[in-house]
């Protein structure tokens, strides 16, 4: 079904407030989910809302906190997320970084004990849209196998980069798996086989059975290179944040375990001027103008497609699975309680 | 032929000193090339020595400078490399970063006007071997095509990560191309076809002809994902360093143009203790112990193979192409001049 942006937003806010989330925090969390829907990434959208509520109920998410901060030197912020809502803790940390980087040039936050961030690109866009540069990394449950190995031992460990450009910043957001576990669940849900080389089953054998892949491991993108990058990110983020490694990570896919992955954000303020931003823009336009290969309509810069989808959906509405919308409507009623 | 490490080192030092490079700088530059040879990466080794000498002769490399530094805030070092030797300028910048990060937690250098860095992993290993964490990026001549495009518009743009571990740090060093241009040259030299999907010819059509690929474009590793990452790195580094974008980059593959790519180094000092380093080590060992897939002997952590090769070569000598060794021997004689 298609729902309007406003209806989807109202429902999300009702649910979050009903679960005890303060207005400002509900606004941040709802905006994140809605932006994911707008950009065609439902795996990071409303689908996750019910779990947020369950986690609050189960005491593994504290909707009130923005995290506790301690600077180590002038430029490194150590954050205990205190089990707060992922984007609430993240935005609070970012607000400290963007301010601090104005005077120090660079500021970084290493965050532990925080819930799921959602789309990393959202944070990159926020920072780069205001003229600063962003680099971010985060980890997750072990879902990706080492190159040549049979077991999932690495998180999906995305890296995100945000650089100012016009009319909107360049935002790159790349995870270490050849595909997301959400996409594999989609194939399983539709009863379709997955392409070869995407995943292993629980015994570590290659499979095209999406259901078998759900209990197995996703291949690293780009084979040995993507594996190396994902492993580097796992070690980098986890050691700085004081988080958990590999198979010890929990809390982004379940409803009852504390979230112990790590996040790492870096904000760089080099006082980029209009001339530099115009150079970035010109370069991106040159890439867009690259003659396309056989069967390719045109060359895209990361974010181009998502931005087009966003405009369409703001105008036409969000396609939300009936099942998801039905569940959320019931949840909202339940949370509104006997007085409604 | 096999040459001993000491002979290769002596020859490299003779050549560099003969070309007017001061002793300390010659030592740094020679060490970089020798480490590449030791680790089985001849494309970043002695092969490049003659070009360094040509570039000095042509006035596009200044062997005397360590670069000019200006701090923007306490944590962002802006470096004009003044056309210095790549590793000399880079190590000078790193020495400022590693000192500064001890007090600020994080320090970053954006470097322009510097020559080729060589293996990025070398810098990562240096920093992480001393207990700090390293993230580095650099750009290059446009050699990689955008996903779906026909022309080379992106550099090979490696990202390197260094994290302390035992008995040696974890070092990841991943370039954006599915293969290096050096490897394509190797195939061409041996008269062998390259695998499908590695490269396009000069007209932007897929080719398995290594000679045709030399004038074309390398595919990004991991398709759209590697392209996105490479593009993000190009924009990130170039805008911060004040370097050149895409096809305007020159100076790492020629002998007569100023080198106008950019480098970006980040050093993080979080005071990592023995317990954290032991956790990183235990995780890497868990990855190494992952049951291997069909036909795989064992799962490796990035650097494992290179380290084994390094030990063999320190013991048995370096395999250097006769042609390269002959050329360098002649160059050394020529530089020693009439008095020899």
Q: Report helix angle A86-104 to A23-38, nearest 10.
A: 90
Asked whether B107 and B267 are in contact (CB, 8 A), the reply is yes
DSSP state of A113: E
What does each C-alpha distance from B277 to A236, B261, B271, B283, B327 come to in angstroms?
11, 34, 11, 10, 45
ipTM over 0.95: yes
How confident is the model over B22-36, as pLDDT tens digits? 999 999 999 999 999
Distance from CA of A113 to the nearest CA of B (A): 17
Asked whether A196 and A119 are in contact (CB, 8 A), the reply is no
CA distance A77 to A305: 34
The mean pLDDT of A69-77, rounded to a whole number, is: 98
The mean pLDDT of B195-204, rounded to a whole number, is: 97
User: B103: nearest CA in chain A?
Assistant: A73
Model's pTM, two decimal places? 0.97
How confident is the model over B65-105, as pLDDT tens digits? 999 999 999 999 999 999 999 999 999 999 999 999 999 99
The position carrying tokens 């008269």 is B191
Asked whether B269 and A129 are in contact (CB, 8 A), the reply is no
Residue A340 has pLDDT above 60, yes or no: no
Kind of pairing, strands A170-174 and A159-163?
antiparallel
Q: What is the pLDDT of residue A337?
A: 81
Residue A30 has pLDDT above 60, yes or no: yes
The position carrying tokens 């002998």 is B255
The size of the A-B interface in CB pairs under 8 A is: 277
Q: What is the pLDDT of residue B340?
A: 47
The SS3 assignment for B42 reads helix
Pick among B72, B97, B101, B105 to test the A interface (most A CBs inside 10 A):
B105
Spell out the alpha helix ranges (H) of chain A.
5-18, 23-38, 49-57, 86-104, 120-129, 181-190, 210-214, 223-241, 274-288, 304-316, 322-336
Q: Which of A78, A146, A175 sits opposite B290 (nearest CB)?
A: A146
Asked whether A299 and B149 are in contact (CB, 8 A), the reply is yes
Contact B174 A145 (CB under 8 A): no
CB within 8 A of B29, min separation 6: which ones?
B12, B16, B21, B52, B85, B86, B87, B88
Question: Which residues of chain B make contact with A240, given a CB cutoff of 8 A?
Answer: 133, 268, 270, 272
The mean pLDDT of A235-239, rounded to a whole number, is: 98
Q: What is the pLDDT of residue A185?
A: 87
Question: Which residues of chain A make contact with B101, given a CB cutoff of 8 A?
Answer: 73
Q: What is the pLDDT of residue A304?
A: 97
A210-224, A255-269, B180-194, B223-237: segment of lowest average pLDDT: B180-194
CB atoms closer than 10 angstroms to residue A6? 10
How confident is the model over A132-145, as pLDDT tens digits? 999 999 999 999 99
Distance from CA of A38 to the nearest CA of B (A): 21
How confident is the model over B274-326, as pLDDT tens digits? 999 999 999 999 999 999 999 999 999 999 999 999 999 999 999 999 999 99
Asked whether B240 and B264 are in contact (CB, 8 A), the reply is yes
How confident is the model over A296-315, as pLDDT tens digits? 999 999 999 999 999 999 99
How confident is the model over A98-139, as pLDDT tens digits? 999 999 999 999 999 999 999 999 999 999 999 999 999 999
The SS3 assignment for A264 reads strand
pLDDT category of residue B43 using cuts at 50, 70 and 90: confident
How confident is the model over B117-128, as pLDDT tens digits? 999 999 999 999
Residue A338 has pLDDT above 80, yes or no: no
Question: Which residues of chain B make contact with A128, given a CB cutoff of 8 A?
Answer: none
Q: What is the pLDDT of residue B182?
A: 85
CA distance B154 to B226: 11
Q: Which of A106, A222, A272 sits opposite B221 (nearest CB)?
A: A222
Q: What is the pLDDT of residue B339?
A: 59
What does each C-alpha distance from B201 to B152, B156, B198, B211, B214 come to in angstroms?
10, 17, 10, 9, 8
Question: Which residues of chain B make contact with A282, given a CB cutoff of 8 A?
Answer: 245
Burial B302-314 (b: 16+ CB within 10 A, else e): bbeebeeebeebe
- Beta strands (DSSP E) in A125-211 are 133-138, 159-163, 170-174, 199-200, 206-207
CA distance A109 to B168: 26
CA distance A266 to A134: 6
């Amino acid at each position: 079904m298609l729902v309007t942006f406003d209806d989807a937003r109202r429902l999300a806010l009702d649910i979050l407030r009903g679960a005890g989330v303060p207005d400002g925090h509900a606004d941040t969390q709802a905006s994140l989910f809605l932006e994911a829907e707008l950009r065609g990434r439902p795996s990071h959208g409303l689908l996750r809302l019910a779990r947020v509520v369950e986690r609050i109920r189960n005491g593994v998410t504290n909707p009130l906190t923005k995290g506790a901060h301690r600077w180590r030197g002038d430029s490194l912020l150590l954050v205990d997320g205190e089990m707060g809502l992922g984007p609430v803790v993240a935005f609070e940390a970012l607000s400290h970084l963007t301010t601090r980087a104005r005077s120090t040039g660079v500021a970084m936050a290493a965050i532990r004990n925080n819930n799921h961030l959602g789309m990393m690109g959202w944070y990159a866009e926020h920072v780069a849209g205001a003229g600063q540069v962003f680099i971010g990394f985060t980890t997750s449950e072990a879902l990706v196998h080492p190159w040549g190995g049979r077991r999932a031992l690495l998180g999906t460990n995305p890296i995100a980069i945000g650089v100012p450009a016009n009319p909107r910043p360049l935002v790159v957001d790349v995870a270490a798996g050849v595909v997301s576990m959400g996409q594999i669940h989609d194939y399983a849900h539709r009863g379709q086989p997955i392409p070869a080389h995407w995943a292993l089953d629980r015994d570590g054998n290659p499979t095209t059975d999406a259901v078998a892949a759900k209990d197995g491991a996703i291949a690293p993108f780009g084979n040995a290179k993507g594996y190396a990058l994902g492993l580097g990110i796992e070690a980098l983020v986890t050691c700085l944040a004081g988080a958990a490694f590999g198979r010890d990570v929990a809390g982004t896919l379940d409803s009852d375990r504390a979230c112990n992955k790590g996040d790492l954000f870096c904000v760089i303020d080099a006082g980029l001027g209009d001339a530099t931003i115009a150079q970035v823009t010109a370069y991106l336009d040159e890439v867009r103008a690259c003659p396309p290969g056989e069967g390719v309509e045109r060359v895209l810069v990361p974010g181009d497609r998502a931005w087009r989808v966003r405009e369409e959906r703001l105008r036409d509405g969000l396609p939300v699975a009936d099942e998801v919308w039905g569940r959320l409507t019931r949840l909202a009623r339940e949370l509104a309680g006997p007085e409604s």
